[in-house]
A and B are shown apart, each in its own frame.
Chain A
């Protein structure tokens, strides 16, 4: 085997120009495949990043009615939605892949929040438990979070997010001020913001409409005081943090199933919990972008096929050229298997080197594409391995015929060959 490899490299090296031209088909094919795959992966990574953002891997599980998010702010709360509490949170946490969970009330676009005489327009109010900030990936940047005392003594404390600080306070000091929520006074004790700042990459207007979703101004109050401001027994929503992005779909589905299990709404009602899974949305967008590129991979594969035929052609020439050598080796005691493996090794090494050069050319090509066409490119290691192995497989397949031809030569005919 080592001897075969040594001989093959020697043979390939002694016909540098011919070997290179033979490899060219494989180089072009592999380079094209790598470039296309890298472009697809780059685009997909970008879509995923844009949608999932900083990778907090948080899934929102909310109540839906008739396929739309249920909003009971102006309607009576239907029967049969249990007021989920700490025990359900524990159950959510026991789902495999779930690392954190939180239950919360929410009023979107609450129009009754005032700071002094200023109306905080379009602001959301959320009644949260102690696990919310951790689960959602928020951190206190000013003041403090809710203390155990706040929660126990039903203190009317509020925390605002950075967006609310900007829109409601014009950058003024917010800690210690009083917010009027639905006529109840709340003392602002802290300001929160996302742990990691994430900016989606926007390359086109299409991207802008898809990804650019600015954070809504939000005021957080303890879940315990929610009934003072809004209603009793309002339904809760949940957020669950998954261990990894890949777990998101499964964790989201199981969480929704769990919450739905305790629902006792009438049979004809369409009310149920559903998970909003960004990973799933991302994969749908990714499929869209990939399908266009599958065609390109197909075209690149044809080039690989042509490359393989080139390898076969040159190997057949090589067998004819080396007929005397084959005859001599047989006379000296080389068995068929050895002659076969010598030519097969040469074909595999030839196409394997072609594959490696193709990968290098493909990486170079990807870099150029990303520079010139502003398309994000991400080189995937598995695709490189597959490309090299595939080119070697081409060597085996197309080296088969020449190597059998060589091994079946009759030694006397071969020795006499001029």
Chain B
């Protein structure tokens, strides 16, 4: 079990009152799984994603990631854990605009203390794998949306983390680019990378091997919901 969430509750403190967002979430993810979590906006899926990504803590419950108790760790230990274990892919790419593709991909390795020469070599290798070997010295502004997302995936996988966490990875892309990204995800999954992806597009979710639904802060296995009339 690479991810194990137990009885997770999350309340947001608005100052005046506690707003509950997640109710008693239990989730187990095996190594090598490809999971899509679907849900409408406001369902708490981003909050869940932040908790899985070690960016946020829960109000109660426990989270074991790769055998490590996430909620017991300090800010700096969490930074290290994210760096080592999780690759992030965001809807809006989140590339540093003034850095070249190569420098963007090398960033997580900088935080891991990898030497500059090695950083550049590995970043170049990752970009070449994503089919961007010709565009390593381009700035994000000079790349198309699909290319930007591929740079972001190269960055996420630069440290070879066991888990890839994607938040609406095709949300800002056209259909063709989106399909390309999904093919890349499948390839990575075939190589053994565990993928957890948030989306509200059923076609995208269909690429995953396992689907779950989150609604009003409650998580459930989602097979039944797809294709059924309730979903439309």
User: A residues within 8 Å of B by Cβ?
Assistant: 3, 10-11, 14, 324-325, 328-338, 411-412, 415
If the complex has contacts A411-B55, A412-B50, A415-B55, are A335 and B96 also in contact, measured as CB distance less than 8 A? no
**Chain B residues within 8 Å of A338, by CB:** 111
**Chain B residues within 8 Å of A328, by CB:** 94, 96
Contact across chains for B88 and A336 when beta carbons are under 8 A apart = no
Contact across chains for A335 and B79 when beta carbons are under 8 A apart = yes
User: Is B150 at the interface (CB under 8 A from chain A)?
Assistant: no
User: Is B107 at the interface (CB under 8 A from chain A)?
Assistant: yes
Q: What are 16 contact pairs spanning A and B, CB under 8 A?
A: A328-B94, A331-B53, A331-B55, A332-B82, A332-B83, A333-B79, A333-B82, A333-B83, A333-B111, A334-B111, A335-B76, A336-B76, A337-B76, A411-B55, A415-B55, A415-B94
Say how far B87's CB is from chain A's closest CB, in angstroms.
9
If the complex has contacts A331-B82, A333-B80, A335-B76, are A412 and B111 also in contact, measured as CB distance less than 8 A? no
**Chain B residues within 8 Å of A11, by CB:** 98
CA distance A84 to B155 in the complex (A): 90
User: B residues within 8 Å of A by Cβ?
Assistant: 50, 53, 55-56, 75-76, 79-80, 82-84, 88, 90, 94, 96, 98, 107-108, 110-112, 155, 159
**Chain A residues within 8 Å of B159, by CB:** 333
**Chain A residues within 8 Å of B79, by CB:** 330, 333-336
Say how far B198's CB is from chain A's closest CB, in angstroms.
14
Say how far A107's CB is from chain B's closest CB, in angstroms.
81
Contact across chains for B56 and A335 when beta carbons are under 8 A apart = no
**Chain B residues within 8 Å of A324, by CB:** 94
Contact across chains for A331 and B80 when beta carbons are under 8 A apart = no
CA distance A412 to B78 in the complex (A): 13
Q: Which of B50, B53, B96 contacts A325 (CB under 8 A)?
A: B96
Contact across chains for A336 and B94 when beta carbons are under 8 A apart = no
If the complex has contacts A411-B55, A412-B55, are A333 and B108 also in contact, measured as CB distance less than 8 A? yes
**Chain A residues within 8 Å of B98, by CB:** 10-11, 14
Say how far B63's CB is from chain A's closest CB, in angstroms.
15
- Closest residue of chain B to A324 (Cβ to Cβ) is B94
CA distance A338 to B80 in the complex (A): 12
CA distance A261 to B153 in the complex (A): 90
CA distance A418 to B178 in the complex (A): 24
**Chain B residues within 8 Å of A334, by CB:** 79, 111
Contact across chains for A331 and B88 when beta carbons are under 8 A apart = yes
Say how far B144's CB is from chain A's closest CB, in angstroms.
20
Contact across chains for B107 and A332 when beta carbons are under 8 A apart = yes
CA distance A331 to B90 in the complex (A): 11
- Closest residue of chain B to A330 (Cβ to Cβ) is B79
CA distance A292 to B73 in the complex (A): 60
17 extra interface residue pairs, beta carbon distance < 8 Å, beyond A14-B98, A415-B55: A11-B98, A325-B96, A328-B94, A328-B96, A330-B55, A331-B88, A332-B83, A332-B107, A332-B155, A333-B80, A333-B83, A335-B79, A336-B75, A336-B79, A338-B111, A411-B55, A412-B50
